Structure 1
Amino acid sequence: MTATALHSAVPTTADVTEAAVTIRPYVRRTPLLDAQVDGRRLLLKLEHLQRSGSFKLRGALNAMLTRPRVAHVVTASGGNHGLGVATAASILGLPATVFVPNTVPAGKARRIEATGARLVRHGATYAEAAAAATEAADRPGHCYLHAYDDPAVIAGQGTVAAEVVADVPEVDAIAVSVGGGGLAAGTALAIGPRATVAVEPYDCQCLADALTAGRPVDCQVNSAAASALGATRIGELPFAILQQRPADSVLVTDAELLAARDLLWEHFRIAAEPAAAVPFAAWLAGRVSGRLPCVVICGANTDWTPTHT
């Protein structure tokens, strides 16, 4: 399927509902923790407990299961999407090649290779790895699976928020991390009138920059969370969805997100990667509104030690 064909199909709420049915035999319905921090109540969606260690498995499976079977799947990733694709390919008995930037964390690279997928390091950024992966996929029987600018991937990611709403209908805001925008867009599709809070680090703010410009634009990528949130430009499809269903765009500093990561460990023994702590950082700083908000802890694929011991 061509990029033009993909971009012509903006996913809908019904697509999220269908994706939940499609992927149900293969994914975990991750727990929802009703928690308090300093007397403030919030829900934590523990998506870091998903198979492959992040929500990315959902979108990868939905895309592979809803399209004609191919001989080989190719993708590019900062790590988590690559691991989701590699895990999905292993589940479905497909060979996969994952292109990653040279800066990929060792833990993510090791886990991708452990699935049996071929790992190719290329370039300094996600964009450079994606260009090489797209070229490699341009051969018979191969298919390139985009990390976020793909309707089936977005619909699959939306199943995270759909589970939250099904479990606790009174939730009124869901905060998620933003890289290329697939999770935020899927969340906006899934939660009806509730607020989507799209959180980024100051030095990886492709959605915030796009909203200012009125269109996707290239942005700076330089954050402790860049290995997972390192897209240099918001996806065309996610941006279109987030214009139709506006999200609250929120920014956090690296110091805030690293402190939030450490607090997740101290309070709950949740070993989250920096990118997964981004929405929790926004909540801690009072930038997530709602009487009963939910923060999605979206991934745990890194080897880390707390900032403070």
Structure 2
Amino acid sequence: MRKSFILIIIIFIAWISVNNPFVNKYVAKLTETALPAAKQSDSLYQTIEKKAPTYEISPSDAKIDRVWKAIPGYNGLKVDIAASYKNMKSKGVFDKNKLVFTQISPKVHLNDLPPSPIYKGNPDKPMVSFIINVAWGNEYLSQMLATLKRHHISTSFFLEGNWVKNNPELAKMIVSAGHEVGNHSYSHPDMKRLTAAQARQQLIRTNEVIEAATGEKSEWFAPPSGSYRDETIKVANELHMKTVMWTVDTIDWQKPSPEVLINRVITKIDNGSMVLMHPTASTAKSLDRLITLIEQKNFKIGTVSELMSENRIIK
């Protein structure tokens, strides 16, 4: 009887030990510690280690370019050897398609650079963005928004403050459709001719009215007609906004035919391009075909924030 009782006690203690989370965690830790040593003696693991550098890409730092001014950085790629090994272990053979990568951040970021305008994203990033400046053209907005929705695209609308004041529901509709909104000044002045105080007032008033109408804070500023001076860029930077220009201009305000507008963009568009457009009849008629052709060139279309981010696009 006593032996049976002792046996029951031993079984009970063993059961508690096995099902104790602290014990399990300790055992798991020991297993994890022992695993790398076992893997490193495995020929597959050694093959992955040896070939990994061949598939790795160094990150590129943000920089000031002589022509394009501020250029954002772009993450590099490093092979996760342990995860790749786990991915290939079942078949036991090296397969480059089963490599697992982690993104490596650059050492210099866009925020590390001195205030400077941005004309394009990183030239290695297969993404483009639309810079849609809005100060008029209400009658074309619905069609453009419908086209963007049909293609599941979010991009960036830069709103004039006075326009937002008079059209708060349209501004709200743009944000509700999933698009980013930026600052396009308050009254569309020639920013190059304004004092620092006047420029500051233009930007602050616009930020206030955009936030009041949409609840969104602007991170990007697009000067009307692309006119600015160094002081303009510094004022925007002090207000925690970066100044964006464009890489490709649709010149849609000249009312080109859809064929002319599309050709103008498609022949120039490249990695990191920002395409300037407005709510016009020309753009509204061209947008559907333009998006299709851009995507056929294997470019992803996103917001300015997405384009400027260091996140790498993995195809």
TM-score w.r.t. the length of structure 1 is 0.24
TM-score w.r.t. the length of structure 2 is 0.23
Bigger helix share: 2
